[in-house]
Structure 1
Amino acid sequence: MRQLADTARDLVAASHPLPVLAVTSVAAGLAAGSGHGTGGMVTVTAAVLAGQLSVGWLNDLADAGRDARTGRAGKPVAEGRLGVPLMRAAVVAAALAAVVLSLLAGPLAAAAHILALVSAWAYDLGLKATRWSVVPYAVSFGLLPAFVVLALPGQPVPPWWLVTAGAVLGCAAHFVNALPDLADDAAVGVRGLPHRLGAARSRAAAAVLVLAATGLLVLGPPGALSDVRLLALPAAVLTVGTGLLLGRRPGSRAAFHAVLLVAVMNVALLVSAGVPAG
């Protein structure tokens, strides 16, 4: 029993739990804001959770050699606490579950989510080390809200501002997520776009992108601006500014957490205003 508990704990750690929970929460919030019933919300949320687990586990599996060489802590595969065969089985099981659950949401919704997952898996398997490393983030984050809206009855067209905001926010997340590990990644040959731009320009890019996403979500929805939506932009500026400032410390993920916090703020806006299709 103790061994099973330890394995379960290590599987959670290897999945990158914070991003998994954040993206799954965003999907659940979007599902609520777009008018899904209980069944639709459960299907969409479960599909996204399974997909994110597959992405997180594949990332840890693909990076195990690099993590071992750089001595990164908290990496169960690199540290030998989880075997490679077990991790491969976990990745395949989560991926199959994500595909099956996506198909339950309808063919167009499934196509959007599966393409988002293929993009994320491609990042794990090599695109992260190229100048195109930001592309999977733009594709996957942009398709996430499209999946949620397309899963509605009648498969309505996702609003352009929602898909664009998701893509832009995904690009911002890529830059801030890479910042704490630039030196370790460069030492093992990972040269994604943030590594090529450097820390200072990557922080600037992240700030511009996340605020652009907030602007789209504040100004994009139809109707008069509420007080909450009017306050969202200055709140986002303050949050991102603080996160980027704290994120200058070596090893800090404050900037990434700030982007996730702004994403949660944006989801709250969507839940309150709804996500009309068209």
Structure 2
Amino acid sequence: MRPTSDEATHRLAAPAVPRSTERPRGLALLKASHPMPAAAVTVLAALMGAAFGLDLASAATAVAAVGAGQLSIGWSNDRLDLGRDRAAGRRDKPLATGDARPGTVGTAACVALLVCVPLSLACGLLPGAVHLGCVAAGWTYNLWLKRTVLSWLPYAVAFGLLPAFLTTALPGRPWPPLWLTVAAALLGTSAHFANVLPDLEDDLAGGVRGLPQRVGRSGSVASAAVLALASCVVLTAGPTGRVSPAGAVLIGLTLALCLAAAAGPPALRRGRVPFVVVLAMAGLDAALLVLAGGPVT
């Protein structure tokens, strides 16, 4: 889906920003890829692949596919947001500051996407199709759903399908159990609400009206925390249908983090503390997701 004519005009009309000479172009291009989220998802895929028992060659191919897909999503996000980021004066965006060239970032996004396709299909037709569905969800977010009440949906779909990409690359192409898919989808949706917290005000000023922007900072913090807690409960109880003593401790820890994020002092909730706390919850859930990934049938 292409941007609307109004958005295209806004981008073309955005004032040019002189390129800074302080940062090498290579580093600026890397920063424009959203390297931290891309690395986090890629590492999560690697750990899950090891937990599921993928052989080294299959795991390496799958991780490379995930990495390429994440880079394509990150670069396309910054390229599509160029006009809005310039208008907002975003100094943390290499394209907005002129440290990276729009053509270079756009080309990098397309090349990464083209590389992702054969790498995904090299894992097999079914797993390849599943992973390309994950990547398509990310691009759909960038192109359209980011600005709608359904902004959470691509995250739920992409994270929910990630375990399936890895399990269907195993001999016999097993599909993961439903509880694992649900837990991953809940974790992804939680990550969406947490991910927008640092930029929420800038997004609102730029006209981005995704679900987190509509419910506001307090609503986003609460949503991210509750979804992460729900993911933890599903991951803990899913394999056996009951919560073990160790699982109860993990749920209690996640609940404490949830309360700290959602019910902390107003001064803390306005800063980056909720974001960091929710990330800690997401990290705990990601570890549980990996540890729970042994039995996939």
TM value normalised by structure 2:
0.85
Aligned partner of 1:195 among 196, 213, 217: 213
Match of 2:151 among 127, 130, 133: 133
* Residue 97 (1) aligns with residue 115 (2): yes
Shift of 1:249: 2.8
For 1:262, which of 281, 285, 288 is the aligned residue? 281
- Measure how far apart 1:134 and its partner are: 0.9
**Partner in structure 2 of residue 249 of structure 1:** 270
- Structure 1 contact 172–209 (Cα < 8 Å) conserved: yes
1:61-140 matches, within 5 Å, as 61-140=79-158
Amino acid at match of 2:182: T
Aligned to 2:59: 41
Alpha-carbon distance between aligned partners in 2 of 1:10 and 1:185, rounded to the nearest angstrom: 22
| 8 A contact 1:173–1:256 mirrored in 2 | no
RMSD: 2.1
The answer for the alignment partner of 1:220 in structure 2 is 238
Q: Secondary structure at the match of 2:233?
A: helix
Contact 1:15/1:56 (8 A) holds in 2: yes
Alpha-carbon displacement from aligned partner over 1:70-121 (angstroms, at most 9, x marks no partner): 1112211111111111111100111112111111111111111101111110
Deviation at 1:9, TM superposition (A): 0.8
1:57 to 53, 75, 78: 75
Counterparts in 2 of 1:232 and 1:51: CA distance versus 1, 3 Å = same
Aligned to 1:157: 175
Deviation at 1:153, TM superposition (A): 1.6
Q: Distance in 2 between matches of 1:267 and 1:63?
A: 29
Q: Aligned partner of 1:202: which letter?
A: S
Q: Secondary structure at the match of 2:277?
A: helix
Q: How many pairs align? A: 273
CA contact (8 A) 2:79 2:105 kept: yes
Whether the 8 Å contact between 2:180 and 2:289 is mirrored in structure 1 is no
Structure 1 pair 211–125 and aligned structure 2 pair: CA distance change class (3 A): same
Report the Cα distance in structure 2 between the residues aligned to 1:207 and 1:220, rounded to whole angstroms. Answer: 20
- Deviation at 1:174? 1.1
- Name the counterpart of 2:294: 275
Whole-Å separation in 1 of the counterparts to 2:46 and 2:258: 23
2:295 aligned counterpart, secondary structure? coil
Question: Amino acid of the residue matched to residue 145 of structure 2?
Answer: L
* Aligned equivalents of 2:233, 2:204: Cα separation in 1: 33
Of structures 1 and 2, the larger Rg is shown by: 2
Q: Unaligned regions of 5+ residues in structure 1, if any?
A: none
Query: Structure 2 vs 1, CA of residues 97 and 243 (structure 1 numbering), >3 Å: closer, same or farther?
Result: farther
User: Residue 48 and residue 178 in structure 1: after superposition, are their counterparts in 2 closer, same or farther (change >3 A)?
Assistant: same
Alignment partners' CA distance in 1, 2:64 and 2:279: 20
After TM superposition, the score normalised by the length of structure 1 is: 0.90
Deviation at 1:270, TM superposition (A): 4.3
Distance of 2:78 and 2:248 partners within structure 1: 40
Give a deviation string over 1:228-275, Cα, whole Å, max 9, x none: 43322122223344455486234x2x4344344333333433444543
1:12-71 per-residue CA deviation (whole Å, 9 max, x = no partner) reads 211112111111111111111111121122112111111111111111111111111111
1:122 partner amino acid: T
Cα deviation digits, residues 137-196 of structure 1 (max 9, x gap)? 111111111111111121101111111111111111111222232221111211111111
